[in-house]
A = this chain, B = another copy of it.
Amino acid sequence: MNNRSPVRFSQALSLVLLFVVVGTQDSVEGRLIPAISNKPHPNDAAAYARWLVSQNSWGVLSTISSGLGGAPFGNVVSFSDGLPNEGSGVPYFYLTTLDPTASNALKDKRSSLAISEYPLGTCGKRDPEDPVCAKITLTGKLVLVDVNSKAAEFARNALFAKHPEMKGWPKDHNFQTFKLEIDDIFLINWFGGPKPLTVDQYLHAKA
- Please list the residues of chain A having a beta carbon within 8 angstroms of any beta carbon in chain B: 1-11, 28-30, 57-78, 94, 96-100, 103-104, 110-116, 118-119, 121, 126-130, 135, 137, 139, 163, 165-166, 169-170, 173, 183-184, 186, 193
Q: How far is A99 from B129 in the complex, measured between Cα atoms in Å?
A: 11
| Overall SS of chain A's interface | mixed
Assess whether A99 is in contact with B69, with CB atoms less than 8 Å apart.
no
List the number of copies, as a whole number. 2
8 A-B pairs with the lowest CB-CB distances in the bound complex, closest first: A2-B67, A72-B72, A74-B114, A60-B60, A58-B128, A76-B135, A62-B72, A78-B129
How many whole Å from A75's CB to the nearest CB in chain B?
Answer: 6
Q: How far is A9 from B66 in the complex, measured between Cα atoms in Å?
A: 25
Q: What residue in chain B is nearest A77 (Cβ atoms)?
A: B129
Assess whether B75 is in contact with A128, with CB atoms less than 8 Å apart.
no
Residues in B neighbouring A4, C-beta threshold 8 A: 67
Assess whether A73 is in contact with B127, with CB atoms less than 8 Å apart.
no
Q: How far is A28 from B27 in the complex, measured between Cα atoms in Å?
A: 11
Q: Count chain B CB atoms within 10 A of each CB in A64, A115, A129 and give the residue with the most.
A: A129
Assess whether B128 is in contact with A65, with CB atoms less than 8 Å apart.
no
Assess whether A65 is in contact with B100, with CB atoms less than 8 Å apart.
no
Which of B9, B73, B103 touches A5 (beta carbons < 8 Å)?
A: B103
Assess whether B28 is in contact with A30, with CB atoms less than 8 Å apart.
yes
Assess whether A75 is in contact with B135, with CB atoms less than 8 Å apart.
yes
Q: How far is A7 from B69 in the complex, measured between Cα atoms in Å?
A: 22
Known A28-B29, A128-B78, A163-B127: A103·B71 in contact at CB below 8 Å: no
